[in-house]
Amino acid sequence: MSERTIRWGILSTGGIAEKFTEDLRLLPEAEVLAVGSRTPAAAKAFADRYGIPRAYGSWRELAADDDLDVIYVATPHNAHHEAALICVDAGRGVLCEKPLTLDAARARELIGAAEAGGVFFMEAMWTRCLPAVRRAVDLVRDGAIGEPTTVHASFGLAGPFAPEHRLRNPDLGGGALLDLGIYPVTFAHLMLGAPDEIRAWARIGPEGTDENTGMVFGYASGAVAALTCGIVGGTSNTATVTGTAGRIEFPPSFHHPRQITLYRAGAEPEVLEFDFDGGGYQIEAAEVHRCLRAGLVESPLVPWATTIEIMDILDAVRRQIGVRYE
């Protein structure tokens, strides 16, 4: 594997699967060998569209393909656990879309299965892999802005979304928190770590999922994070981490930035550019390749413990705002 092409399977055929498959084409060492869906027709249509040689009408058939090195799970949230577990049980490496599952208990079960089987497993939290984000994390850790004191981040979409849309439908793990809020939460975790206290409030829609959610995290250091997510108004979708000696600002679409601005006390602002082709999904795919070639079952950029910590935070927020899934 250290020399040859990495062979991918794509599980599910929705919009995010399309974007990921398109970006995989930017990696010469990647080959999309197969696609699987719940129906043969959907799999074949996707395969024909992207020139994929093998199409399977079930997830189990895809997972059983011994020629695959890794499978990208791109289903709605509610199906991540089932689909990823099928792949892990078959011995396939897995890159599973975020949030990994609907709750931390199921996340622990999936990661435990991967660990027991010695199978590569990674949550597709692409933000953690992007060069601008990695650079910002290094700057904070190196003391470029002093001691971190405050994080602000928002992610809101204007809508409106129909009741059956995945962002509102509880059967699909809907609500702003899991789909959008995971990004501000991840940003705060990157800069400040796991919080010591969590406070949350939300407006709950008629479907029982959150439409507009605010979170405040408190840390033993005295740092705070103020985060919002929603599907009832387009927010700035920006993020900032402030310290005792400066701050770093992320522009709109902070979760996949191509630049950051560093403000140091007494110095002119520095704009740092990090351009890349495509949408950026190929960057997390390249991290998967690196891990597979190194014989790793866990990515140091998206470690299992962090995935579980963030799911624990999301669970705590959901308990406070009263969102529950069957």
Half-sphere exposure of 46 (CA within 13 A, CB side): 30
Pairing verdict, β 197-204 and 121-124 = unpaired
Q: How far apart are CA 84 and CA 66, in angstroms?
A: 16
Would you say 219 and 118 are in contact if contact means Cβ atoms under 8 Å apart? no
Q: Residue 54 phi/psi, 5° resolution? A: -125, 135
Eight-state DSSP code of residue 143: T
Alpha helices in the chain (DSSP H): 15-24, 40-50, 59-63, 80-89, 104-117, 131-141, 176, 182-192, 281-294, 304-321
b/e code 257-281 from CB counts within 10 Å (16+ = b): beebebbbeeeeeeebebeeeeebb
Active site residue 44: no
Pick the catalytic residue from 81, 92, 98, 189.
Answer: 98
Q: For the CA atoms of the chain, what is the radius of gyration?
A: 20
**Alpha carbon distances (Å) from 302 to 134, 155, 209, 264, 273:** 12, 21, 27, 29, 23
Find how far residue 40's CA is from the centre of its chain.
Answer: 28
155 DSSP β-pair partners: 229
Q: Which residues are marked as active site?
A: 98
